[in-house]
Structure 1
């Protein structure tokens, strides 16, 4: 009986936490980072500021969880795709495809995860050592499968496997940045997402030897 009650309470807490994150995301995307205050999020979530404090001690902690959720989902998506291929070049292509293809339909997620801290100025979005401790395993998980497959291939690549995998990932992020910039000005890129993915994959396949 007590165990069932604790389970119900935990499910309620999880739902409340998700409701808060959903509300914070809505405020951020609608009104901008400067408008993400605990008061605004509590109002959006239909709860008291005191109740929100039970889950998040600060705006910074709340925004970090929004960013972390995107990073975590991205890492899992890429890792699973890399697990499904055999060779190093195929793994590089999987990183590129599942970064560009994963974010292209959801550019708000991309901006939240990779651009927000750069454009928010002195909004206090500096990561703490504890937060970096949570992020680093995601980075390792995202790249480790590709590094392993590149190392197994036995071909002489232009650069060492870890750096090559990282460059494939950040090149995909760079393309997304340009795509977002062009589309925000009403002047879409000349090339389709599929052409960008295919072209960049071929470049890195060549680099992998």
Structure 2
């Protein structure tokens, strides 16, 4: 059993049943492994949650790296839309709801601060760039709660409008 499959199983439990249902036994059952098999990769529930947090940060950083050239905010917008289109953003709500432990959420908070501060001063219009980044946050949140809310046509329209805001005057 691979680590990612265990993390997927944990995320499915959180989406289907909520954070109260997230136990090591439930994750092992969902993944079809023994509890010992799960413990080989994650020694505790906290380690499992930490693994989910680390993976979502790595995933979004990779989406950012995969974006074509452009300003940081243009790449941020592209990465957000890529995540929404592929359904990868449910992890944000899942992991946040999974942990009331500020220590476990610290890496996510650091990543969010980095994503929202990085390159802002180099943008042609930092305030507009900040507005677009905040709009991306709203899109992430909505996609986490209702993935069917925006059609592909809706997403193209939103992307066009947000990119137009970023275009130099």
* TM norm. shorter chain > 0.5: yes
> Against the structure 1 CA distance between its residues 17 and 202, is the aligned structure 2 distance closer, same or farther, given a 3 Å change threshold?
same
Unaligned stretches of 5+ residues in structure 2: none
1:145-188 deviation per Cα after TM superposition (whole angstroms, max 9, x unaligned): x44753xxxx5x354xxxx655432311212434565666xx65
Unaligned stretches of 5+ residues in structure 1: 1-14
Say if 2:74 is the partner of 1:96.
no
TM-score (norm 1): 0.61
Instruction: Tell me whether 43-52 or 192-201 shows the greater mean CA deviation.
Output: 43-52
Say if 2:86 is the partner of 1:105.
yes
Say whether the 8 Å CA contact 1:93–1:205 is kept in structure 2. no
Say if 2:33 is the partner of 1:47.
yes
| Partner Cα distance (1:195, 1:168) in 2 | 14
Say if 2:66 is the partner of 1:85.
no
Q: Give, in angstroms, the shift of residue 192 of structure 1.
A: 1.1
Say if 2:164 is the partner of 1:202.
yes
1:56 is aligned to 42
2:102 pairs, out of 127, 137, 149, with 127
> Against the structure 1 CA distance between its residues 204 and 41, is the aligned structure 2 distance closer, same or farther, given a 3 Å change threshold?
same
Aligned with 1:57: secondary structure? coil
Instruction: Tell me whether 23-32 or 72-81 shows the greater mean CA deviation.
Output: 23-32
1:84-140 deviation per Cα after TM superposition (whole angstroms, max 9, x unaligned): 325x4xx4223212212322330xx32321x2355x3xx6432317x6358636863
| Partner Cα distance (1:174, 1:134) in 2 | 17
| Partner Cα distance (2:129, 2:19) in 1 | 32
Q: Give, in angstroms, the shift of residue 47 of structure 1.
A: 3.1
> Against the structure 1 CA distance between its residues 128 and 166, is the aligned structure 2 distance closer, same or farther, given a 3 Å change threshold?
farther
| Partner Cα distance (1:166, 1:23) in 2 | 35
CA RMSD, Structure 1 to Structure 2 (Å): 3.6
Say whether the 8 Å CA contact 1:95–1:169 is kept in structure 2. yes
In the TM superposition, 1:18-57 aligns within 5 A as 18-57=4-43
| Partner Cα distance (2:142, 2:13) in 1 | 25
Larger radius of gyration: 1
